[in-house]
Amino acid sequence: MFTGIVVDKARVRSLAPATRTSDTRLEIETALDTSRFDIGASIACSGCCLTAVAKGLGWFAVEASAETLSKTTLGEWKVGTAVNLEPSLRVGDELGGHIVSGHVDCTATLVSVTPDQGSHRLVFEAPKAFARYLAPKGSVAIDGISLTVNEVEDRPDGAARFGINVIPHTWNATTLGRTQAGARVNMEVDALARYVARILGRN
């Protein structure tokens, strides 16, 4: 379980494609103290909950299955790709964002980026299957970052566009500052919205 509060902007230092007997292996270079990571620990990597399978000074390794690659942006990663990191929540930690499972629902597309006084305004488009989970002032996780939805615009094809504002700290401390229009991002809808939709028979 996570909160969507990114603690390090790391990078992919190596990548080994999947073989017949193994999944894709990625090594992540980080400024975090990896001595605090246990092998088998869960770490959110740009919103994807992955398991640490090896580690060393300033790096750790994870493996991604074909299912993970197909549902997320991980299949597009290469050496040097920036990665938002968040270790799993510990009992007693501050819940600064919202409850995030690390199970990416889909990829959304960044439609536009516009400076907005000291912040930046970003508009994303979510696919039809997940549009109903978005609501003004609701929460959404984009690439592992807990964000508040400003407004939602339903599209004729059933998709939804939604806007968020990103303050300078988040812009600089996460990968959002280098994400350009047209890019795909990992999206996880708010768990509360999912349960409400289920109760109402819309799931």
User: What pLDDT, in 10s, does the model give residues 24-72?
Assistant: 999 999 999 999 999 999 999 999 999 999 999 999 999 999 999 999 9
Confidence tier at 170 by pLDDT (50, 70, 90): very high
Q: Do residues 64 and 111 share a domain?
A: no
Per residue in 182-203, pLDDT (tens digit) is 999 999 999 888 777 777 776 5
Q: Do residues 129 and 76 share a domain?
A: no
Q: Do residues 188 and 145 share a domain?
A: yes
Q: Do residues 119 and 194 share a domain?
A: yes
Q: Residue 200 has what pLDDT?
A: 78
Q: Do residues 73 and 150 share a domain?
A: no
Range of the domain at 131: 106-199
The count of other CB atoms within 10 Å of the CB of residue 130 is 19
Residue closest to 178 by CA, chosen among 87, 83, 85, 94: 83
Total-model pTM? 0.93
Q: Do residues 110 and 83 share a domain?
A: no
Q: Do residues 68 and 125 share a domain?
A: no
pLDDT, average across residues 93-106: 87
The count of other CB atoms within 10 Å of the CB of residue 97 is 19
Higher pLDDT: 91 or 42? It is: 42
Total domains present in the chain: 2
Residue 109 backbone zone (phi > 0: left; psi -120 to 50: alpha; other: beta): beta
